[in-house]
Amino acid sequence: MSHMIPVPGAFAAGGAIFLIVLWDAFEAIILPRRVTRKFRLARLFYRSTWGMWRFVVCLIPTRKTREALLGFYGPLSLLVLVGVWAVGLVLGFGLMQYGAGSAVAVTGSQPGFQTDLYLSGTTFFTLGLGDVTPRSNLARLLVVLEAGFGFGFLAAVIGYLPFIYGSFSKREVNISLLDSRAGTPPTAGELLRRHSYAQGQDALRALLKDWELWCAELMESHLSYPVLAYFRSQHDNQSWIASLTAILDTCALVIVGVEGACEKQAELTFAIARHAVVDLSQVFGTSPKPLPHDRLPAQELRQIREILAQHGMKLHDGEQADHKLTELRGMYEPYIHALANYLNQTLPPWMIQKKGKDNWQTTAWAQSAGLIENEVAPAVADDHF
C-alpha cells in the first residue's frame, strides 16, 4: 500500500465543516432558545429554499394546488435539512481522513478522497462493512469519533422529529376549535357576535384566557424551532397567522370598549399575542410594513358596531375610541402583515363579508358532488352562537 502525503489544508477544511454543521444542528435540535447570530446554516438553508419554493409555486394559477404544494414545504424541508447536516458531517470527516494522508487499507485499489468519503459514510451511518479499514492512530481516532457522533446524531433526529410534529398538532387544536367560534376564516366581528348570548361574556373570557396560553406556547415553540412556522394547517382557509390576527383584532375591540366585556383578560391576551408577533417577525427578518389598504375602514367599523348592537353587545364609539383602536392596530398589524407576506398567507377581514358555511358544516363528498349541505345547519349555528 502506498502512503499519501498529509494535506493540512484539507484536514482544516474538514474540521471547519464538521464544527459548523455540528454546532448548527446542536442549536436547531438541542438548544431551546432563540439564536441571534447572523450566520446560521439552517437560516441560510430556509431563506434560500423557501424563496425559490414560494416563487415557483406562486406561478401555479389554482389556489388549492398552490396551498397544497406550499404545505409540502415544511415537512419536506425538515427532512432535507437533516440530510444536509448528515452530508456535511460525512464530508467533514472525509476531508479530515484525506488531510491525514488517507491512511486506510483498501483491497483492489489505491486509497484516495473517494475512499475516505466512503469510509466516512459507512462509519457515520454505523454500517461497519469492514472493506476499508484505518491504519494510522489518527485515522482510527477519526473513525471512532465519527461513529460516536453518527450514533448521537441519529438519536437526536429520532427524538427531534416527533417533537416537531407534536408541537404542530398541539398548535392546530385551538385553530380548529376557533372554526365554530369565529367562523371560517376567523374574524373578530364574528367571534364577538357569536358570544353575544346569555353568559357569552364568561365564555369569551375563558376563550381569551385559552388563547393567552396558546400564544405563549406559540412564541416558545416557534422561536426555538422556526421550521414550525412553515407547517400549514389542514384546511386551506385556516392558518395560525389568520387565527392569531383574529384574536388580536378581538382583543383590540374589547379593550376599546365592549360594555360588560372582559377587558383585563383581553389586555393580557393582547400583550402576549403582540409579543409573539414581534419576536417571530424578528426571527424571520420581516421588518414591519405598512398595509397596502386599511383592513378596517370607517364604514366597516360602523357596520360591526351595528351588528353587535343588534345582538345586544354595544361597542363604544366616538373619536376617542376610534383613536385608541387605531393605536392598538398599529402595534401589531405592520408586523403580522410582514409575516403573512413572507409565509404567503393572507390576513382575515374584521367581519365576514359574505355569509358562508364554517368548515364543520361542509363535507368533501358534498363539495366534490356539487351538493348543497343541510340548510338547517346554518340556522342551528346562528341560534347557538
Do residue 137 and residue 243 come from a single domain?
A: no
Per-residue pLDDT tens over the stretch 111-153: 788 888 888 899 898 777 777 888 889 888 999 999 999 889 8
41 and 115 inside one domain: yes
pLDDT digits (tens, 9 = 90+) for 250-282: 999 999 987 767 888 999 999 999 999 999 998
Dump the DSSP string for 49-88.
HHHHHHHHHTT---HHHHHHHHHHHHHHHHHHHHHHHHHH
Residue 323 in any domain: the answer is yes
Highest averaged pLDDT of the listed ranges 31-35, 173-177, 214-218, 360-364: 214-218
Domain match, 231 and 89 both: no
- Say whether both 254 and 347 belong to one domain: yes
Domain count, the chain: 2
* Residue 208: pLDDT band with limits 50, 70, 90: very high
**CATH code of 144's domain:** 1.10.287.70
231 with 342, same domain: the answer is yes
Q: Are residues 155 and 253 in the same domain?
A: no
**Residue 165 domain flag:** no
pLDDT at 104: 80
My answer on whether 23 and 142 are in the same domain is yes
Q: Is 238 within a domain?
A: yes
pLDDT band at 36 (very low <50, low <70, confident <90, very high): low
Q: Is position 326 within any domain?
A: yes
Q: Which domain holds residue 204?
A: 183-354
Average pLDDT, the chain: 85
- Please tell me whether the overall predicted TM-score, pTM, comes out greater than 0.75 for this model: yes
Instruction: Tell me: do 73 and 188 sit in the same domain.
Output: no
Decide if 211 is inside a domain: yes
359 inside domain: no
pLDDT in tens, 61-93: 888 889 889 999 999 999 999 999 999 999 999
Contacts of 347 (CB under 8 A, 6+ apart): 241, 242, 245, 295, 336, 337, 340
- State the pLDDT confidence band at 353, using cuts at 50, 70 and 90: confident
**Within this chain, do residues 137 and 202 fall inside the same structural domain, yes or no?**
no
pLDDT of residue 157: 86
**88 and 195 share one domain:** no
Joined together, the cell numbers standing for residue 356 give 358562508
DSSP helix/strand/coil, 196: coil
- Secondary structure letter of residue 228 according to DSSP: G
DSSP 8-state secondary structure symbol assigned to residue 29? I
The percentage of the chain sitting over the pLDDT mark of 90, rounded to a whole number, equals 45
Contacts of 188 (CB under 8 A, 6+ apart): 182, 246, 249, 250, 252, 253, 304, 350, 351
Same domain, 221 and 86: no
pLDDT at 379: 39
If pLDDT is split at 50, 70 and 90, which confidence band does 1 have?
A: very low
In a domain, residue 277? The reply is: yes
Same domain, 138 and 263: no
Confidence of residue 373 (pLDDT cuts 50, 70, 90): very low
pLDDT of 69 reads 92
In a domain, 377, yes or no: no
31 vs 328 pLDDT, higher one = 328
